[in-house]
Amino acid sequence: MKLNIALLAGDGIGPEVIDQAVKVSNAVAAKFGHEIAWTSGLTGAAAIDAVGEPYPDATHEICMAADAVLFGAIGHPRFDNDPTAKVRPEQGLLKMRKALGLYANVRPTFTFPSLIDNSPLKRERIEGTDLIILRELTGGIYFGERGRRDDGDTAYDTCTYTKEEVTRLAKLGFELAMTRGKKLCCVDKANVLETSRLWRQTVQAMEKDYPEVTVSYEFVDAVAMRLVQWPNSYDVLITENLFGDILTDEASVISGSMGLMPSASKGIHTSLYEPIHGSYPQAAGKDIANPLATVLSAAMMFEDAFGLTAEAAAIRDVVNKSLAEGVVTEDLAGKNKAYKTSEVGDWLAANV
Ligand code: IPM
Ligand code: MN
């Protein structure tokens, strides 16, 4: 099979972790007789520096022409404390989500048996956790009408959802639940918000099409609590953009390392795969960042975008093997030898 993949390394540690995912993907492709054509594009601060904007048209064209997009990270500290900055790397991310129609962000949280004590939560709370948060990504308050009035002294951001937007996200949630534990939790704030009442009403109307799925409706504040109390009681959670942003960061600490969790954003035009961690500027260029989240994102890409399940399983197996054998970066090494980012990538590619 010929795989056309757009490669957006982005900022900070992005290029380093992406390099390892490319090595491992090429190794698995060679093993299974596939050919990968990688096309690189600029995004984030790197794109602002080169062409003045964070998601240039040329990058959009590369993504549209590809079968899937593998993404590193974007963001640079020099923009964070500069309220006057006219263009920001994050705008590139939002523009890209909208332009590619990336409406569903799939963020799994699971534990690795060998790393369970790395989690800040107690072992008995998290053992067996295997949940997926499905976050709506192109609607809600992120893309609503916003502005200032009263000479700038009043600011507003509005949250809007349509039934269609809720339906397409919920449909993915039901379908995902059918392939797993058959439990779906709709996370909202329907005791207060009108958009949440639309979410609930829409999901309720869909229940009859999926009689095997047990659906629960929970308020987002209660879910925030239960996620750290009994994360292993959840299967698939669906929620709107801002709630999903907050809950997925919360859920990421369960596994014990930000450097491990992959994600996918399913789109109308294409799908994008990326680690959930950010650009980690303090580590950029030092060859110390954990590449596993990006490598596991590549595994998600093989499986979801190309239906190549054996290839995805081979990547996951070799990642587990590296963890078991202690071929890990400093965040996971403890008192043992820490490997460099590139060494972990080389080892994975050689052993896949
Ligand atoms: C994320 C990030 C982005 C978001 C930022 C960088 C705009 O936090 O992907 O979760 O809020 O969606
Ligand atoms: Mn976030």
pLDDT at 258 over 80: no
- CA 244 to chain centroid, in Å, comes to 11
Give the pLDDT band (50/70/90) at residue 201: very high
> Does residue 125 have a known ligand-binding role?
no
The continuous run of DSSP H or E covering 22 comes out as helix 14-32
Which protein residue has the closest C-alpha to ligand 1 atom 8?
245
Rounded distance between C-alpha atoms, residue 91 and residue 94, angstroms:
5
Rounded distance between C-alpha atoms, residue 4 and residue 296, angstroms:
18
Give the pLDDT band (50/70/90) at residue 154: very high
User: What does the pLDDT look like over 94-139, one tens digit per residue?
Assistant: 999 999 999 999 999 999 888 888 899 999 999 999 999 999 999 9
Q: List active site positions.
A: 142, 189, 221, 245, 249
Question: Span 208-212, mean pLDDT?
Answer: 98
Ligand nearest to the CA of 74: 1
Rounded distance between C-alpha atoms, residue 1 and residue 76, angstroms:
37
Ligand nearest to the CA of 94: 1
- Residue 71 structure tokens: 């993404």
DSSP secondary structure string for all residues of 183-226: EEEEEE-TTT-HHHHHHHHHHHHHGGG-TTSEEEEEEHHHHHHH
> Does residue 149 have a known ligand-binding role?
no
- CA 9 to chain centroid, in Å, comes to 15
Which class in CATH covers the domain with range 1-110+261-352? alpha beta
User: What does the pLDDT look like over 17-37, one tens digit per residue?
Assistant: 999 999 999 999 999 999 999
DSSP 190: T
Give the pLDDT score at 217.
98
Domain with CATH 3.40.718.10 in the chain: 1-110+261-352, 120-254
- The SS3 of residue 329 is coil
First to last CA, the chain: 19
Which residues are within 5 Å of ligand 2 (an ion), measured at CB? 245
Q: Are the CB atoms for 55 and 331 separated by under 8 Å?
A: no
Beta strands in 59-213 (DSSP E): 68-73, 102-110, 130-136, 146-149, 154-157, 183-188
In angstroms, what is the span from residue 196 Cα to ligand 1's centroid?
21
> Does residue 245 have a known ligand-binding role?
yes
Rounded distance between C-alpha atoms, residue 28 and residue 303, angstroms:
13
Query: Phi, psi (5° rounding) for residue 66?
Result: -90, 160
Tally helices (H) and strands (E) across the chain: 14, 12
Which protein residue has the closest C-alpha to ligand 1 atom 11?
245
The DSSP bridge partners found for residue 183 are 214
- ipTM of the shown complex: 0.99
- CA 11 to chain centroid, in Å, comes to 16
State the average pLDDT for the chain.
Answer: 96
Instruction: Give domain 120-254's CATH architecture.
Output: 3-Layer(aba) Sandwich (3.40)
In angstroms, what is the span from residue 187 Cα to ligand 1's centroid?
19
In angstroms, what is the span from residue 78 Cα to ligand 1's centroid?
17
In angstroms, what is the span from residue 308 Cα to ligand 2's centroid?
29
